[in-house]
């Protein structure tokens, strides 16, 4: 029985998706779960897995097409099976056409076939890259099998063209362009306000060392400070449901799950990879998911489920020695927490100057969802949890 391949919905407000590449050719066998196509939404560029086993057939969407969510774009069929026919309303009229009209149609088909034969062969990835870089593929000599233009050919041509130019501009990648659009929309439409809090991380560091020793003995990977912050954040969010809410245009939605989105750096941009139901996970589970998501993000192999459903975002630039920064909210989320580096500072300790490892947290909130008091209470509870991690974990 044929299985339909449809344009998936990766978020509630998504109406369309752009087809960037087919990972399989029509007629090739496909196994359930393996990468089948690559699409672009207003969140990210993601891989879509095959919904079942079969032979790819009946492809109706070309690379670059913008397709409505839920529309069938191909089929997976069994050996000897044909994909379901698509209704064609123009066919009956053709039967009554004159011989001259049929001859004209045949000539058009032949001309189209000749143009197709003359067109350069190019891989889907190279075609997408050429579009991003604004490169004319007719000027590129392919080095792949049978003269196929590869992505390396496109990049080499673009690099040579850029070197020859006296000035020039830098083209944006898909991820960079999406990030630019999203942040501009958020900054210009969401009423941000910011709260800043410094917190003593002495006991947080001690807890991270202790958990690392325990997990290494159990042949597990050591958790990072980011893992501990995600665990603390998830627990505190459970006590502050409004901070875990979403702005829906005319009402506030209280999200039933606490799905912490972690801002991750990828080539030319940032993606938000989601740890679902983070408040129900042990520290080891959070650490394992975060490592797996990081590896897939860096390899450009995120799955649709990896980037959807986030209810609160944390962005940690501490590893880059950034002391403090303000982050832009990811709609429809109500807030994002920006975390700076942990560094020794001189602070009051029992009325005297002392040195403590301090960290600055900056909370960006949507004023339509939370007011200053709610945000301040949340940030205060989070700071208390970080100062006394043993009471939370």
70 pLDDT above the threshold of 70: yes
Count of alpha carbons within 13 angstroms of residue 23, beta-carbon side:
16
Only one residue has tokens 């066919």, namely 91
DSSP string for residues in 304-315: HHHHS---EEEE
Residue 236 to residue 300: CA distance in whole angstroms: 32
34 pLDDT above the threshold of 80: yes
What would you measure as the largest C-alpha separation in the chain, in angstroms? 101
Q: Based on the residue annotation, tell me whether 367 is a catalytic residue of this protein.
A: yes
Q: How far is CA 67 from CA 5, 63, 114, 247, 390, in A?
A: 12, 11, 28, 27, 50
Report the pLDDT value the prediction gives residue 94, as an integer from 0 to 100: 39
pLDDT-based confidence at residue 11 (cuts at 50, 70, 90): low
Q: Which of 26-35, 43-52, 86-95, 369-378 has the highest mean pLDDT?
A: 369-378
Residue 206 to residue 209: CA distance in whole angstroms: 5
Can you tell me the mean pLDDT for 124-144?
80
Report the pLDDT value the prediction gives residue 164, as an integer from 0 to 100: 56
Report the pLDDT value the prediction gives residue 207, as an integer from 0 to 100: 95
Burial zone of 254 (CB within 10 Å; 0-12 exposed, 13-18 middle, 19+ buried)? exposed
Catalytic one among 232, 276, 303, 367? 367
Residue 235 to residue 229: CA distance in whole angstroms: 10
Helices 202-217 & 225-237, crossing angle to 10 degrees? 110
Report the pLDDT value the prediction gives residue 127, as an integer from 0 to 100: 83
64 pLDDT above the threshold of 90: no
105 pLDDT above the threshold of 90: no
50 pLDDT above the threshold of 80: yes
pLDDT-based confidence at residue 165 (cuts at 50, 70, 90): low
**Cβ atoms of 355 and 344 closer than 8 Å:** yes
Q: What is the pLDDT of residues 241-300, one digit of tens each?
A: 999 999 998 899 999 999 999 999 887 788 899 999 999 999 999 999 999 999 988 887
72 pLDDT above the threshold of 50: yes
314, 273, 328, 276: which is closest to 46 by C-alpha? 273
């Amino acid at each position: 029985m044929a299985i339909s391949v449809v344009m998936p919905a990766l978020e509630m407000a998504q109406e369309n998706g752009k087809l960037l590449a087919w990972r399989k050719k029509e007629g090739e066998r496909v196994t359930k779960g393996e990468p089948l196509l690559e699409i672009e939404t207003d969140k990210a560029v993601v891989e879509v897995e095959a919904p079942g086993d079969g032979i790819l057939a009946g492809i109706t969407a070309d690379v670059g097409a913008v397709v409505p969510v839920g529309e069938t774009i191909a089929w997976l069929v069994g050996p000897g099976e044909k994909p379901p026919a698509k209704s064609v309303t123009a066919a009956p009229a053709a039967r009554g056409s004159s011989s001259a009209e049929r001859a004209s149609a045949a000539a058009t088909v032949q001309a189209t076939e000749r143009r197709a034969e003359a067109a350069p062969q190019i891989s889907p990835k190279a075609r997408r890259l050429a579009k991003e870089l604004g490169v004319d593929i007719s000027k590129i000599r392919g080095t792949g099998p049978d003269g196929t233009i590869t992505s390396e050919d496109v990049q080499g041509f673009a690099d040579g063209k850029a070197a020859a130019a006296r000035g020039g501009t830098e083209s944006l990648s898909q991820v960079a362009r999406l990030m630019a659009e999203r942040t501009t929309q958020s900054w210009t439409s969401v009423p941000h306000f910011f709260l800043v809090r410094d917190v003593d991380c002495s006991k947080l560091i001690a807890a991270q060392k202790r958990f690392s020793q325990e997990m290494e003995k159990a042949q597990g990977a050591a958790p990072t400070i980011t893992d501990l912050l995600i665990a603390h954040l998830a627990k505190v969010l459970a006590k502050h449901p409004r901070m875990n809410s979403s702005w829906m245009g005319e009402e506030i939605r209280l999200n039933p799950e606490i799905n912490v989105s972690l801002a991750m750096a990828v080539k030319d941009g940032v993606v938000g990879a989601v740890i679902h139901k983070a408040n129900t996970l042990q520290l080891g589970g959070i650490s394992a998911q975060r490592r797996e998501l990081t590896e897939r993000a860096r390899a450009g192999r995120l799955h649709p489920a990896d980037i959807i459903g986030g209810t609160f975002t944390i962005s940690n630039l501490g590893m880059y020695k950034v002391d403090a920064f303000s982050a832009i909210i990811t709609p429809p989320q109500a807030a994002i927490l920006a975390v700076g580096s942990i560094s020794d500072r001189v602070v009051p300790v029992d009325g005297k100057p002392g040195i403590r490892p301090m960290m600055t947290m900056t909370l960006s909130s949507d004023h339509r969802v939370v007011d200053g008091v709610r945000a301040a209470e949340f940030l205060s509870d989070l700071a208390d949890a970080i100062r006394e991690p043993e009471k939370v974990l």
